[in-house]
Amino acid sequence: MSNMLDPYQIKKDFPIFSQAHPSGKPLTYLDSAATTQKPQIVINAMHGYYEKSNANVHRGIHHLGNRATLTYEGTRAKVQNFIHARSRKEIVFTKGTTESVNLVAYGFAEQRLNEGDEIVISAMEHHSNLIPWQMLCRRKKAKLRIIPMDESGTLQLDQLDEMLSERTKMIAVVHISNSLGTINPIEDIIKLAHAKDIPILIDAAQSAAYYDIDVQAWDCDFLVFSGHKVFGPTGIGVLYGKEKWLEEMVPWQFGGEMIRSVSFEESTFAESPQKFEAGTPNIAGAAGLAAAIQYIETLGKENIRQHLKALLGYATAQLGAIEGLRIYGNADKKSAIISFMLESAHAHDIATIIDNHGVAVRAGHHCTQPVMAFYGIPATARVSLSIYNSREDIDRLVEALESVRLIFG
């Protein structure tokens, strides 16, 4: 059974919305793809950790050390359940999606890549799932190949099969595009990859908060996401990897917490996930992340998706009715992200003008410059919706855009 979420009720869980915007207007936050706002329970969990449990993890024999370790490892179990991983050993904490991708590029792909090999990514990757592979290819004299997309922002997967060969050593694809909103059929892509025994990484930065993730059913090799886009804190993220790959992978940072034994001559390393978590980790971040996952689970992802789907339909219709407004990204399956341009206004002008009305949208290339190049534009304005947004927020956006049109129309 699903229930429609009440965004007005949800907004009350987020203390940031109780403050006024300098314009005196209500704060209309339409930039959740950049980072989501944080509910009070996440803030409380982090606060509570420092107030009641602060100590270092994994070393403490004392009471507080045990509490901190329970907090940190408890979050690992929560994440395991959240994405349905087989084992806690498959969950590595990083500082975010970007670090997770870099870790796989260095620790895994780098070890397997030779001159002339290929890595495949898509035309709509965030720079953090592009540049690590580009740099790796440069180091190894390998080739980066790109799954093309069409004008609607849909990947042309009919071309993928023939792109894959025994030279392909890795595929890395985004689940939901942060600039176009396209939901990619990653289960199909994973099947194509595995038909040729190619490991595949899924960038779930934009999907983890809203879409059911089942790494076992999908059978992906790696999956990455960030805490701050799932209503959790900044500075903590997740790398999921199949146990067999994490065992094979080499660590890329060395120091405390990740060793088995150390002498001046030689060191040996702990098993995964500890071998990838050198140094004191983000324990408060883990406390916050567990609360964020709890918050999502209480709302229910099915309910969240229904709410976002209805809101996306409304927003697309309202924006589509504005004269001179063009939406970029019209794939059949879309998440609640709308990139657009209006008249001759630059995206930054749009964002600046509507900020005077209390409306926050993103303007720029959204760390997807190749997507902008594809459409021959420098930037877009981007609306990204979340659980605390209502139709009223979209009405405010439309009203604010009217003043852009008056200036530029």
Among 369, 395, 370, 371, which Cα is nearest to 383's? 395
Residue 168 or residue 206: which is nearer to ligand PMP going by CB? 206
Residue 291 or residue 371: which is nearer to ligand PMP going by CB? 371
User: How far apart are CB 152 and ligand PMP at their closest, in Å?
Assistant: 18
Q: Which residue has the tokens 């403490």?
A: 60
Residue 176 or residue 193: which is nearer to ligand PMP going by CB? 176
32, 53, 97, 384: which one binds ligand PMP (CB under 6 A): 97
Which residues on neighbouring strands pair with residue 28, listed in sequence order?
Answer: 359
Q: For the packed helices 301-320 and 391-408, what is the interaxial angle rounded to 10 degrees?
A: 30
Residue 81 tokens, joined:
């359940």
CB atoms within 10 A of CB 54: 14
- Judged on CB neighbours under 10 Å (0-12, 13-18, 19+), 406 is exposed
Residue 193 or residue 202: which is nearer to ligand PMP going by CB? 202
Residue 374 tokens, joined:
């594809």
Q: In what order do the strands lie in the sheet with 143-147?
A: 91-94, 237-241, 222-226, 200-203, 168-174, 118-122, 143-147
Number of Cα atoms under 13 Å in the Cβ half of residue 380 = 28
Q: Residue 104, SS3?
A: helix
User: How far apart are CB 13 and ligand PMP at their closest, in Å?
Assistant: 22
Mind giving me the DSSP string for 194-225? HHTT--EEEE-TTTTTTS---HHHHT-SEEEE
User: How far apart are CB 354 and ligand PMP at their closest, in Å?
Assistant: 21
- B/e letters for 19-47, b = 16+ CB within 10 Å, e = fewer, are eebeeeebbbbbbbbbbbbbbebbbebbe
User: How far apart are CB 129 and ligand PMP at their closest, in Å?
Assistant: 6
206 binds ligand PMP (CB under 6 A): yes
The CA–CA distances, whole Å, from 51 to 40, 48, 55 equal: 16, 5, 11
Name residues contacting ligand PMP, limited to 113-142 (CB under 6 A): 126, 128-129
260 vs 274: CA distance, rounded Å? 10
Find the angle CA(299)-CA(300)-CA(304) to the nearest 5 degrees.
85
Q: Which residues contact 132 (CB under 8 A, 6 or more apart)?
A: 101, 102, 105
Residue 229 or residue 357: which is nearer to ligand PMP going by CB? 229
Name residues contacting ligand PMP, limited to 175-194 (CB under 6 A): 178
Size of the residue set binding ligand PMP (CB under 6 A)? 13
Name residues contacting ligand PMP, limited to 241-270 (CB under 6 A): none
Residue 53 or residue 129: which is nearer to ligand PMP going by CB? 129
174, 193, 336, 363: which one binds ligand PMP (CB under 6 A): 174
User: How far apart are CB 181 and ligand PMP at their closest, in Å?
Assistant: 11
The answer to whether 335 and 206 have CB atoms below 8 angstroms apart is: yes
Q: Is 137 a catalytic residue?
A: no
36 binds ligand PMP (CB under 6 A): no
What does the DSSP 8-state code read for residue 139? H
User: How far apart are CB 149 and ligand PMP at their closest, in Å?
Assistant: 14
75 binds ligand PMP (CB under 6 A): no
User: How far apart are CB 122 and ligand PMP at their closest, in Å?
Assistant: 11
Q: Which of 55, 367, 377, 398 is catalytic?
A: 367
Residue 98 or residue 168: which is nearer to ligand PMP going by CB? 98
Which residues on neighbouring strands pair with residue 237, listed in sequence order?
Answer: 94, 226
Mask for 327-366, x = binds ligand PMP (CB under 6 A):
----------------------------------------
Mask for 362-381, x = binds ligand PMP (CB under 6 A):
-----x--------------
37, 53, 98, 274: which one binds ligand PMP (CB under 6 A): 98
31 binds ligand PMP (CB under 6 A): no
Window of 57-65, 90-98, 345-353, 384-392 that interacts with ligand PMP by CB under 6 A: 90-98
7, 39, 96, 233: which one binds ligand PMP (CB under 6 A): 96
User: How far apart are CB 124 and ligand PMP at their closest, in Å?
Assistant: 9
226, 316, 389, 390: which one binds ligand PMP (CB under 6 A): 226
Active centre residues (catalytic): 367
**What is the contact surface with ligand PMP in residues (CB under 6 A)?**
96-98, 126, 128-129, 174, 178, 203, 205-206, 226, 367
